Structure 1
Amino acid sequence: MVDPYSEIISLLKPQASYSKLVHAYGPFRVRREGLSEAFYCSLLKGRAWLEVEGKEMLDLEAGDFVLIPAVKSFTFSSVDPVPPKGILSRPSEGEDGIFRLGSPAGEAEVQQLVGHCTFASPDAELLVSLLPDIIVIRGGERLAALNDLLRDEARSDRPARSAVVEHLLQVLLIEAFRSATAPGASAGLLRGLTDPRIAPPLRAMHAAPAHSWTVVSLAEEAGLSRSAFFSRFNRIVGIAPMGYLMNWRMTLAKHMLRSGQHSIAEISDRIGYGSASAFSTAFARFVGTPPARYTQTLAAE
């Protein structure tokens, strides 16, 4: 059974580029802008508000995990006490490597592990577009166990601490993707895979990308009329069915071109084009350069 989720994750190659343990005391508000990497936050203790542009404010509690695959800006602030209007806090790093907000006194009311991750795939932007724009996981035993391991490791001074934290974060990110199946989740691939009507055509496209799929044949996989399927796919996945198929075919094509193990004719056959010239035309229209030149550019890098 082809697992589209596993394919996307393996091609994305998530890597934790930066993480820090933050302790907050009293009222605080942190604002970050001009970001270009995925952002994650694991709330270890207390409550906090997270505001992301274009989204409703999130009220986070201990055990919650948030992942935003593509974030531009966000505001993180205390719930109790509510921070005064206009206050912006600056974290300071202690000798123990923990960042602190406010005036340390006693035990921190809020503890969180925050950071950024990168996706090593050159096609990250395309692949991220297939994922929900925000993932919120509320508690859960598996995430709680991972959170405990992360908190313990982040506070430790053990050998290879950074490497262990990075690998644990990778597991946490994957677990977050896997868990993002709530009915109210954002449009994207993961939501599509949990829908009883949309999951079959999604899996079919991934299982046989070379097949001559049409909206009608995909609607048959879904057991819906053409118009009902088209509308439902758009709403749940966030992109038209044939647009999704084109994105996936071109992602596979670029992956095969980068490997250097496949001819253009072979790639054409494997992703459903009748000839190398038809594939080259479609690839050039989608990527902006013909596949042969794309390969030459890769070789020169």
Structure 2
Amino acid sequence: MADPLAQIVGLLQPGAPFSKCVTGSGPWRVRRTQSPNPYYVAVLNGSLRYWDHKSGEISVNAGDFILIPSAQDFMMWSDVPSNDNDMVIDPVILPGGGYRVGSIDGPIDMRALVGYCMFQSDDATLLSSLLPELVVVRGEYRLAMLMQLLGEEAVGSKPGREVVLLHLLEVLLIEALRSSAELGNSPGLLRGLSDDRLAVAIRGMHAEPERNWTVAELARDAALSRSGFYERFQSAVGMAPMEYLTAWRLALAKDLLRKRELSVGAIARQVGYRSASAFGVAFMRGVGVSPARYAREAAGALRGTAADEFRGAVA
């Protein structure tokens, strides 16, 4: 069966273009009121406290990774007792790179990699809509190995350090999204996949997007009544089953249109539409432009990117 989360992450092509190593000493507090992209914190040594309006307060310890898909207003502070007088407006930039919060001369009691993620695909909102407000991953063996490598690179000065950090962070992000997470009460794909019965239906939609699915068929596969399945899916994932299926089909279609290897009619059939016209109507409703126009604009953007890279290479 298909791995839905891995498929979505693969389509989005996540990266971590901005990261910084932050060290903390003594009492400190940091508040962020808005971040345009998903924000992450990977604690390498020590611990810190995290808080937002929806998730409340949690402790983040060495080896823990948190991802905030929609970072609108959150605060982090030291394990050492602090107050608003310890709020950091601008962290101190260290001579060898990195940032310091708290005492500039005191012993380091916290080290973390923080930054934001970006997606090469224009479907970033799909992932945000399918994840909880906060993803917390603890005690995962594979993540622990990645965290150790990150920590060594973050404090080292070997050639290619920035490139290695970038790719390690990309792998860490994907691994975190695929790992079991503390879900709280937030709806999203992770919660749907943690429900054994809903997971059968979700994997079925991902494995056969071209199939003429109905709620009744999905409910039967999940061994639930039609109404029970609908309500359980809506509550867990945060959207209705057919709404989720449409979002997935359109995400697949956009990827195929960007590749420009198939005709619109062939793409329509591959993602579950009986005709190009029915697909065009659904695509226009969901994306805002026709499939043909989307393909042209995507090709133009790709040519522009290639030209910019060429100019940069020969400059």
Percent identity, aligned pairs only, is 46
Q: What secondary structure does 2:26 align onto?
A: coil
Aligned to 1:132: 132
Instruction: Report the Cα offset of residue 215 of structure 1.
Output: 0.7
Residue 28 of structure 1 aligns with an amino acid whose one-letter code is W
Instruction: Report the Cα offset of residue 105 of structure 1.
Output: 3.0
Separation of aligned partners in 2, 1:140 and 1:126: 26
Aligned to 1:16: 16
Residue 42 (1) aligns with residue 39 (2): no
Residue correspondence of structure 1 range 148-159 to structure 2 within 5 A: 148-159=148-159
Deviates more, 1:282-291 or 1:215-224: 282-291
Aligned to 2:223: 223
Closer, same or farther: CA 183–133 of 1 in aligned 2, 3 Å? closer
Q: What secondary structure does 1:42 align onto?
A: strand
Instruction: Report the Cα offset of residue 241 of structure 1.
Output: 0.3
Separation of aligned partners in 2, 1:297 and 1:183: 38
Q: Conserved in 2, the CA contact under 8 Å of 1:39 and 1:69?
A: yes
Closer, same or farther: CA 178–278 of 1 in aligned 2, 3 Å? same
Separation of aligned partners in 2, 1:84 and 1:127: 34
Q: Conserved in 2, the CA contact under 8 Å of 1:280 and 1:291?
A: yes
Q: How many residues align?
A: 301
Aligned to 2:266: 266
Q: Conserved in 1, the CA contact under 8 Å of 2:210 and 2:271?
A: yes
Separation of aligned partners in 2, 1:178 and 1:161: 26
RMSD value over aligned CA atoms?
1.8
Q: Conserved in 1, the CA contact under 8 Å of 2:40 and 2:116?
A: yes
Q: Deviation string for 1:105-150 (max 9, x for gaps)?
A: 3421222111111111111112332233321012333322221211
Residue 74 (1) aligns with residue 66 (2): no
Gapped regions of structure 2 (runs ≥ 5): 302-315
Separation of aligned partners in 2, 1:65 and 1:57: 15
Residue correspondence of structure 1 range 56-67 to structure 2 within 5 A: 56-67=56-67
Residue 73 of structure 1 aligns with an amino acid whose one-letter code is D
Q: What secondary structure does 1:46 align onto?
A: strand
Q: Conserved in 1, the CA contact under 8 Å of 2:28 and 2:86?
A: no
Separation of aligned partners in 1, 2:84 and 2:246: 50
Separation of aligned partners in 2, 1:223 and 1:258: 37
Residue correspondence of structure 1 range 88-107 to structure 2 within 5 A: 88-107=88-107
Separation of aligned partners in 1, 2:4 and 2:140: 24
Q: What secondary structure does 1:19 align onto?
A: strand
Q: Deviation string for 1:150-190 (max 9, x for gaps)?
A: 11101111000001111111121112112134464632222
Residue 52 (1) aligns with residue 52 (2): yes
Instruction: Report the Cα offset of residue 235 of structure 1.
Output: 1.4
Residue 32 of structure 2 aligns with an amino acid whose one-letter code is R
Residue correspondence of structure 1 range 1-301 to structure 2 within 5 A: 1-84=1-84, 87-182=87-182, 184=184, 186-301=186-301
Q: What secondary structure does 2:146 align onto?
A: helix
Residue 141 of structure 2 aligns with an amino acid whose one-letter code is E
Gapped regions of structure 1 (runs ≥ 5): none
Separation of aligned partners in 2, 1:207 and 1:136: 28
Q: What secondary structure does 1:77 align onto?
A: strand
Deviates more, 1:136-145 or 1:12-21: 136-145
Name the TM-score, length of structure 1 as normaliser: 0.94
Residue 152 of structure 1 aligns with an amino acid whose one-letter code is E
Q: Conserved in 2, the CA contact under 8 Å of 1:67 and 1:135?
A: yes
Q: What secondary structure does 2:115 align onto?
A: strand
Instruction: Report the Cα offset of residue 250 of structure 1.
Output: 0.7
Separation of aligned partners in 2, 1:216 and 1:5: 24
Instruction: Report the Cα offset of residue 101 of structure 1.
Output: 1.2
Q: Conserved in 2, the CA contact under 8 Å of 1:209 and 1:272?
A: yes
